[in-house]
Every structure is written in C-alpha cells, then in structure tokens.
Amino acid sequence: MNKALCYIVGAGEPSSVPPCPRPGDLLIAADGGFETLRVHGLTPDLVIGDFDSLREVPDHPNLVRLNPIKDETDTLSAILLGQQRGYERFAIYGGTGGRTDHTIANLQNLVMLAQAGQRGWLVGQNEVFTAIHNGCIRFRADSKGYLSVFSMTTESTGVCESGLKYHLDNYTMTNAYPVGVSNEFTGSAAEVSVENGTLLILYTMEATEL
C-alpha cells in the first residue's frame, strides 16, 4: 500500500489539530476547506468543488470546478481524484460538525475505502473515525480515552477486542445493536479485529494507532 497520505479538507467544523502534510503527500481543499487552509497558512496542491460553501471560485492554478448537480459530494470527488493519483490512505478534515447528512456521507466514504482495501480517517474536533474490513487495528499502550466499535454490515463475525476495559472474543456484531459503544483504553496495547465484515471505529485524539 502507498504509505503517503491524501489530505482532504472540507467545509465542516475544523479539527482541533490541522493537517500536517509531508513530502509525497497530497493536500486537497474541497470547496470551503480552502478558507480553513488559508487560516492555517497552508496552500493546497489542488482545489475541488462546486463552491457553494466558499461562495466564490478561488484563484488557484490547479482547480477542478464541479457541476453543482452531481451524484458525488465534494469530499467524495476529492477522494476519487486522490485515488486516480495512486493514493490509498486518506485523512479527511472538516468533514464533521456541519450538516449531519454530509457527516454520514463521510462515514460511508470510510466504509467504501475499507472495503476497497484502503484506509480513511475522518478527523473531528476531539475524535477520529476510521473503518476496517476483514482486518484489524492496533493501538499503542499509551493510548487514552475511549473507543467505540460499530458494525457497518448486517453482521460482522469474528469480532475481537483485546487490551481494552471490555473484551470481545469471536463475537457476532450487527448493525442494529450498539454493543461496542464506549469501551476504554487501559494502558495496554489494544487491538480490534473482524474476521468477516466492516467495522466503524471511533477513538479519541489521545489514542495512537500502531
């Protein structure tokens, strides 16, 4: 997997931490995310959107203007653009805290990426969302705060949670019963895995993935 990150900054609520692109990463402003990046003194590599949030078309050399009558959100269009450029890991900022329908759309984007064998992170004010499909996620022992796990498929089988306050072992989790809400880190290395299915995972900023 390409380890470089495609950062996408949208028009929703800014995260408590700004994006921090490194050489090889791609930084995309999705519509009103252009203004968020300007506030942080960051210049995007690309700007994409129909610009209904920004209310003006920015002056940028690499700009993709979308028709406002479209099937994809600006954020999804940015993801597809990143995929076309070979990126498989996506960090989405400004994708929560605005319109609820766009937040839900961004959660579905995480599921789409996981089921394609890729990874996405939706970074909120004090928490991070991600999704895994037929795989696992691990956290460092110094992780703090809480972690919640939800099935995004009708059934997710072989779910295991270890190193956390509440354990699961070979559990069948469904998308109609929130048994995985509000687990806690305990000072041990932690792991969540699923044998068959897709899990949405929410954890606090004090946690660090391995």
- Measured CA to CA, the distance from residue 192 to residue 181 in angstroms comes to 13
Would you state the pLDDT for residue 52?
85
- Measured CA to CA, the distance from residue 87 to residue 55 in angstroms comes to 29
- Measured CA to CA, the distance from residue 31 to residue 48 in angstroms comes to 6
What's the first-to-final CA gap in the chain, in angstroms? Answer: 16
pLDDT digits (tens, 9 = 90+) for 78-134: 999 999 999 999 999 999 987 899 999 999 999 999 999 999 999 999 999 999 999
Has this prediction a pTM greater than 0.85? yes
Q: Which of 36, 8, 4, 40 is nearest to 22 (CA)?
A: 4
Would you state the pLDDT for residue 111?
98
Would you state the pLDDT for residue 1?
55
What token pair was written down for 155?
Answer: 């059934």
Kindly state the percentage of the chain with pLDDT values over 90.
84
Q: Mean pLDDT across the chain, nearest whole number?
A: 95
Kindly state the percentage of the chain with pLDDT values over 70.
99
- Measured CA to CA, the distance from residue 22 to residue 19 in angstroms comes to 10
- Measured CA to CA, the distance from residue 19 to residue 166 in angstroms comes to 32
- Measured CA to CA, the distance from residue 166 to residue 158 in angstroms comes to 16
The DSSP-derived string for 39-88 is HTT---SEEEE--TTTSS----SSEEEPPSS-SS-HHHHHHHHHHHTT--
pLDDT digits (tens, 9 = 90+) for 8-39: 999 888 888 889 999 999 999 999 999 999 99
